[in-house]
Amino acid sequence: MSLPALNKYVQAFFETLLMVGSSALIAISLGLVLAIVLTITARNSLYPKPRFHRGLSATVNVFRAVPFIIMLVALLPVTRFLVGTTLGTWAAVVPLTVNLIPFYARIAQVSLNEVDPGLVEAARAMGCRRWHIVRHVLLPEALPGIVGGMTVSVIAMINASAMAGAVGAGGLGDLAIRYGYERYETRVMFEVIVILIALVSIIQLFGEKLSRRLDHKH
């Protein structure tokens, strides 16, 4: 393989990393906040606000229902406002992030909901205030699930980033589509897929290991 050809892969690889990495960072932070808000405003939870909870939950559902490719186009004005352009790698970060926030929020919410109510009761009985309970009980106890959810989300995002090629974002998926599909260079497509498989496997392996290390339940 010639150097420029190799360069093409390296560039695509880093574009994917940049897209996925920066959107994941933003989306996971915001998604976690959203998950906490959803959890503690539920009925019988720490700050019960049933109407607010229902509204927020419905909004999350709306965002989760819209297909990514449509969101990509629908968000163009927002992207232009935030990034200044609707083309390129950074432009793809906006829809990827918006797409991932509700997805990750739901995963994290499941983990937070699974925390034994007995632990929350024990914390109340020992004189914890409500934010202490979020900080010392809900988050640490749900952490293995929260980290496991990150793994799932990042991998889902690598997948979605292929579609970001539609806004000229580049990346591995885009490489596979342009060369493999549009130019019938099947070999490029296979090579890209092998790289993606390797990438996904490494993230999965690392994610599982981290999640296991954080889990002291057994």
Partner 1 sequence: MNTSLNTALRISALIGVEANPSTPATDKPAAKAYTTPAAGVQPHLVFDNISRQYPSPTGTVHALREVSFTVARGEIFGIIGRSGAGKSTLLRSINALEIPDTGSVAINGLKVGSLDEDALVKLRRRVGMIFQHFNLLSAKTVRDNVGLPLRVAGVAPEQIRARVDALLDLVGLRDKADVYPAKLSGGQKQRVGIARALVHEPEILLCDEATSALDPESTQSILTLLRDISSKMGLTIVLITHDMAVIREICDRVLVLNHGQVVEQGEVWRVFGDPQAEATRALLRPLQHGLPADLAAQLIDDLGNQAGDVLLSLRFNGSAHPQGVSLQQLALLGPDATLIHGGLDRIRGHAQGNLLVSLPVASWEAIKIRGGSHFGGGNNNDRFQGADFIEVLGYVPART
Catalog residues that contact partner 1 under the rule CB under 8 A: 116, 118-119, 121-129, 132, 136-137, 140-141, 143, 214, 216-218
Output the furthest CA–CA distance in the chain (Å, rounded): 68
Judged by beta carbon, residue 43 or residue 187, the one nearer partner 1 is 43
Judged by beta carbon, residue 187 or residue 218, the one nearer partner 1 is 218
Judged by beta carbon, residue 82 or residue 128, the one nearer partner 1 is 128
Judged by beta carbon, residue 4 or residue 127, the one nearer partner 1 is 127
Least Å distance between CB 130 and partner 1? Answer: 8
Least Å distance between CB 119 and partner 1? Answer: 5
Least Å distance between CB 54 and partner 1? Answer: 21
Written as one string, the DSSP assignment of the chain is --HHHHHHHHHHHHHHHHHHHHHHHHHHHHHHHHHHHHHHTSTTSSS--HHHHHHHHHHHHHHHHS-HHHHHHHTHHHHHHHHS-SSSHHHHHHHHHHHHHHHHHHHHHHHHHTS-HHHHHHHHHTT--HHHHIIIIIHHHHHHHHHHHHHHHHHHHHHHHHHGGGGT--SHHHHIIIIIIIS--HHHHHHHHHHHHHHHHHHHHHHHHHHHHH----
Least Å distance between CB 70 and partner 1? Answer: 40
- Among candidate residues 62, 38, 48, the one with its CA nearest the CA of residue 113: 38
Least Å distance between CB 34 and partner 1? Answer: 22
Judged by beta carbon, residue 143 or residue 210, the one nearer partner 1 is 143
Least Å distance between CB 39 and partner 1? Answer: 17
Q: Residues 124, 133: contact at Cβ < 8 Å?
A: yes
